[in-house]
Structure formats: C-alpha cells, structure tokens
C-alpha cells in the first residue's frame, strides 16, 4: 500500500499496515503459514482503527474533510449519475469553474446537479480556484435551478468549499448580492431540492447551495459559519488557537444533526471516503434515492411550506418574561 498524503492520526496505524503487508509477502514468498497470526493482527488493527475513528475530534474531522484525495463533486457525478451533460455560464459575465452544474439521469430520472468543484491536482485546483466561487458561479447555479423548476427536475446539490472567493473582482461583481439572490430564490423554487455536504462547508459560500428540502452530510464532513482558522484569528488574534476554536464551533455532522440543522448523517466507510470511495458512492446513491422518493410523493405546495417552516424554526434564543 502506498500513501501519497497521510493525516497525523492515519500515520499511527498506516505504519503497522505496511509492516503487515510486508509480513504477508514474506510469508507467501517463503511459503510459511502465518495465516492465523496475520488474521489475529488484522483483527487487532481493525479494533484499534474503530476506536480511533469513533473518537475523532472536530479538528481531525476537518482534516479528513479537507483531505486532498477526498472525492469531489465530479467524482460523485461520474459514479452516481448517468449521461451527465455539463452546462456552462451565467449568461451575464462568464463561466465559473468553481461551480459545476448540468443535467443527468439519476436511476433513470432526469435531475439537475449543481456542486462546488475543488479540483485535485495543482492545475485543476488553479482552474477551479480551489472551489471558491465568484458571483458568476452562484448566478449560474440560480440559472440552472430555475431551468430545473421549469422542466420539473429535482435539484441535487453537492457542497464542498472553503467559502466564496474573497477577492477584488468578486466584490466588484457583487458577491454578497449573488449569494443573497440564490438563498432567496432557492427558498421558493418549485421543485424538490436535496443538498449533500461532501467535504468542507464554509460559510455563506457553502450555504448558497444549502437551501434545500433535505440537507444531508457525510459523517466526516464539516459545515461552519467560519473556518476554525478565521474564527481563531478574529476572536483570539492567534491562528494557533484554531484547534481549540474548532471544537467550540460545533461544525461536525453529528453536532449539526443534534441541533436540527441537517436532516441526516450518512455514515462513511470507517477510514473515510478517500480510502474507500466506491462504498461511499454506493451509500450516497442509496440515501439520495430514498430522500428523493419521499419528496416526489409530496405535493409541491407542501414541499415549499415545509422548506420554509424548517428554515423559519432554526434559531435558539430566550424570551424574557416580564412580571407585570
């Protein structure tokens, strides 16, 4: 096994995995029967991993969510959908490669797919602007969503971005305006919408694809109002406090499910989607299908009402009681 890029806590057991593989090879070459010992070791290693992954900190989950080998939107599109036709451009300014969108078949049903695209190698990353969209990306997303509404296609969104791009041109062309528009339009779009956070969901740039009837999250994905680094630099004036802030921000799928902000946590294979992408695609496809089936059985007016009510009820505050 080769590991191009390992996380700190992955290294702990990957060393053992390597040795185990070597041992197997030697045993095979020399034709010595170590199979009992090897399976005992494998069992032990599995237990160790399970314990490790069941007690991951929020910071460690952020590392998995940002893992360079983690499947991107395009990977999910290729694995889950058939006949994907990519559609480009916002019809105003240009095409933003940081957001991909188009029409595809999902188990035979035409759907519109929209998602952030981070890119994998350096060239791709630069082309995709590291998955950080400009206003034209959000305007393209609105265009495709409204097209889906017209043709009564459900919309499936994939969220995976650090956030909207913080640059001069993005501001000039109205980054805030573009995000506000998509939030408003998706809230009343007359077609079912499912959003899935597959990696990192950062701030308003992620939420822009997150106004949906069902918001799902992979178990090692994160979704936050601000990156832990941003929070540490603003509140503590010290980026080294990122780990600490990360735990306080309650940004993991499990925390958000407990707060009622997302509808379901989709369990990834033990070591994360990047180690075992095929199993991840399979379970994601199953879950998307079951949520879509539920939504397609509802009346459109009810879907819109429920979408509003769900958003309307998010918020925790106190109501002061006055004693007259």
Partner 1 sequence: MSFKDIFYPKSRKKYITLPPPSEASNPQITGVETCPQCGSHNSENLLQNSLKVCPGCGYHYPLTAQERIWMIADNNSFSELDDRLMPADPLSFPGYADKLAKVREETGLKEAIITGKAEINGEKVVMGVMDRRFLMGSMGSVVGEKIARVFETACAEKAAVVLFTASGGARMQEGMLSLMQMAKTSAAVARFHQKGLLYISVLTDPTTGGVTASFATLADIIIAEPGALVCFTGPRVIEQTIHHKIPEGFQRAEFLLEHGMIDQIVHRKDLKQYLSKMIALHRWSDKQ
316 binds partner 1 (CB under 8 A): yes
209 binds partner 1 (CB under 8 A): no
315 binds partner 1 (CB under 8 A): yes
Task: Provide the minimum distance between the beta carbon of 41 and partner 1 in the complex, in angstroms, as a whole number.
Answer: 42
Contact pick of 11, 126, 176, 240 for partner 1 (by CB under 8 A): 176
Footprint on residues 27-66 left by partner 1 (CB under 8 A): none
What is the rounded distance in angstroms from the CA atom of residue 12 to the CA atom of residue 23?
18
- The residues facing 215 across adjacent strands are 195
Angle at 183 between CA 209 and CA 230, to 5 degrees: 65
Span interacting with partner 1, options 11-19, 74-82, 164-172, 264-272, rule CB under 8 A: 164-172
Task: Provide the minimum distance between the beta carbon of 72 and partner 1 in the complex, in angstroms, as a whole number.
Answer: 22
Span interacting with partner 1, options 1-9, 85-93, 272-280, 311-319, rule CB under 8 A: 311-319
Span interacting with partner 1, options 83-91, 120-128, 151-159, 256-264, rule CB under 8 A: 256-264
What is the rounded distance in angstroms from the CA atom of residue 115 to the CA atom of residue 122?
20
- Closest C-alpha to 194, from 273, 264, 280: 264
Contact pick of 103, 155, 157, 179 for partner 1 (by CB under 8 A): 179
Contact pick of 174, 264, 270, 275 for partner 1 (by CB under 8 A): 174
* Count of residues touching partner 1 (by CB under 8 A): 53
Nearest residue (CB) to partner 1, 121 versus 319: 319
Phi first, then psi, for residue 284 (nearest 5°) are -60, -45
The beta-strand segments (E) located in 28-146 are 82-86, 99-106, 109-116
Nearest residue (CB) to partner 1, 60 versus 252: 252
Token pair 């029409």: residue: 103
Phi first, then psi, for residue 112 (nearest 5°) are -100, 130
Task: Provide the minimum distance between the beta carbon of 268 and partner 1 in the complex, in angstroms, as a whole number.
Answer: 20
DSSP category for residue 159: E
Task: Provide the minimum distance between the beta carbon of 198 and partner 1 in the complex, in angstroms, as a whole number.
Answer: 17
- Closest C-alpha to 125, from 154, 161, 83, 89: 161
- Closest C-alpha to 222, from 245, 179, 256: 256
Nearest residue (CB) to partner 1, 66 versus 185: 185
Would you call 163 helix, strand, or coil by DSSP? coil
Q: How many CB atoms neighbour CB 241 within 10 A? A: 17
156 binds partner 1 (CB under 8 A): no
* CB-based contact 245:225 (threshold 8 Å): no
What is the rounded distance in angstroms from the CA atom of residue 192 to the CA atom of residue 213?
7
321 binds partner 1 (CB under 8 A): yes
Contact pick of 62, 80, 113, 164 for partner 1 (by CB under 8 A): 164
Contact pick of 129, 191, 203, 219 for partner 1 (by CB under 8 A): 203
For 42-71, give the DSSP string.
HHHHHHHHHHHHHT--HHHHHHHHT-TTS-
Span interacting with partner 1, options 43-51, 71-79, 90-98, 243-251, rule CB under 8 A: 243-251
Phi first, then psi, for residue 218 (nearest 5°) are -70, 155
What residues make contact with partner 1 under the rule CB under 8 A? 164, 166-168, 170-177, 179-181, 183-185, 187-188, 203-204, 207, 210-211, 223-226, 231, 234-235, 248-251, 256, 259, 261, 307-308, 311-312, 314-322, 324
């Amino acid at each position: 096994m080769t590991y191009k890029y390992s996380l700190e806590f992955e290294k702990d057991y990957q060393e053992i995995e390597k040795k185990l593989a070597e041992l197997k090879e030697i045993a095979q070459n020399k034709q010595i029967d170590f199979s009992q010992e090897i399976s005992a070791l494998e069992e032990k290693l599995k237990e160790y991993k399970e314990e490790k992954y069941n007690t991951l900190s929020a910071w460690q989950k952020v590392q998995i969510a940002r893992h360079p080998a983690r499947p991107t939107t395009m990977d999910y599109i290729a694995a889950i959908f058939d006949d994907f036709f990519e559609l480009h451009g916002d019809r105003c300014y240009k095409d933003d490669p940081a957001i991909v969108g188009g029409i595809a078949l999902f188990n035979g049903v035409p759907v519109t797919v929209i998602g952030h695209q981070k890119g994998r190698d350096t060239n791709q990353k630069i082309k995709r602007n590291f998955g950080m969209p400009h206003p034209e990306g959000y305007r393209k997303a609105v265009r495709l969503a409204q097209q889906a509404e017209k043709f009564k296609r459900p919309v499936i969104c994939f969220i995976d971005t650090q956030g909207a791009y913080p640059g001069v041109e993005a501001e000039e062309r109205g980054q805030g305006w573009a995000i506000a528009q998509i939030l408003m339009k998706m809230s009343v779009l007359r077609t079912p919408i499912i959003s899935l956070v597959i990696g990192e969901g950062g701030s308003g740039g992620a939420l822009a694809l997150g106004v949906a009837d069902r918001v799902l999250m992979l178990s090692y994905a994160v979704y936050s109002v601000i990156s832990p680094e941003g929070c540490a630099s603003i509140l503590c004036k010290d980026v080294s406090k990122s780990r600490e802030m990360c735990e306080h921000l309650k940004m993991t799928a499990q925390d958000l499910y407990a707060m009622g902000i997302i509808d379901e946590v989709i369990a990834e294979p033990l070591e994360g989607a990047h180690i075992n992408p095929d199993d991840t695609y399979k379970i994601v496809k199953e879950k998307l299908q079951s949520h879509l089936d539920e939504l397609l059985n509802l009346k459109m007016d009810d879907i819109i009402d429920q979408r509003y009510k769900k958003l309307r009820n998010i918020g925790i505050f106190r109501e002061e009681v006055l004693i007259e």
